[in-house]
Amino acid sequence: MTTWTPVGKVSDFQVGSAKAIDLNGETICLVRNNKGFHAVTDACSHGAVSLSEGTVTEDGIECFLHGSEFNLETGVPKTPPAISSIDVFEVQVTGDGDNAVVSVGI
């Protein structure tokens, strides 16, 4: 069963940004891009560095250390050197406008 945890309001996250969020002891990388919100584990599968310090791309996030880009919907690396997927979590937005609440499901 999915447990939803509120992580902030829509206005707390700028489009094109990534933010590390502690979620019950697990660090999540929450990304807001032009398509909406995405949540993945905040650790690159290649070197375990924080993906939230990377660059948000059109539909992914690029690790700052060696440049692997991960698909935010599937967690699959699109470019080397990473070869393993990262975990992807569900995100829901409830309410309207900038005050809508963003929640991550685990």
Q: What is the CA radius of gyration of the chain?
A: 13
Q: Which of 46, 52, 86, 102 binds ligand FES (CB under 6 A)?
A: 46
- Among left, alpha and beta (phi > 0; psi -120 to 50; other), residue 25 is left
Say how far apart CA 24 and CA 20 lie, in whole Å.
13
Can residue 66 be called a binding residue for ligand FES (CB under 6 A)? yes
Question: Min. distance of Cβ 80 from ligand FES in angstroms?
Answer: 8
Minimal distance in Å, beta carbon 67 to ligand FES? Answer: 6
In the beta sheet, which residues pair with residue 23?
Answer: 26
If you ran DSSP here, which 8-state letter would residue 100 be given? P
Applying CB under 6 A, does 44 fall inside the site for ligand FES?
yes
List Cβ neighbours of 25 (8 Å cut-off, separation of 6 or more).
none
- Choose between 63 and 102: whose C-beta lies nearer to ligand FES: 63
Which one of residues 7, 63, 86, 104 is an interface residue with ligand FES (CB under 6 A)? 63
Residues in the site for ligand FES, rule: CB under 6 A?
Answer: 44, 46-47, 49, 63, 65-66, 68, 81-82
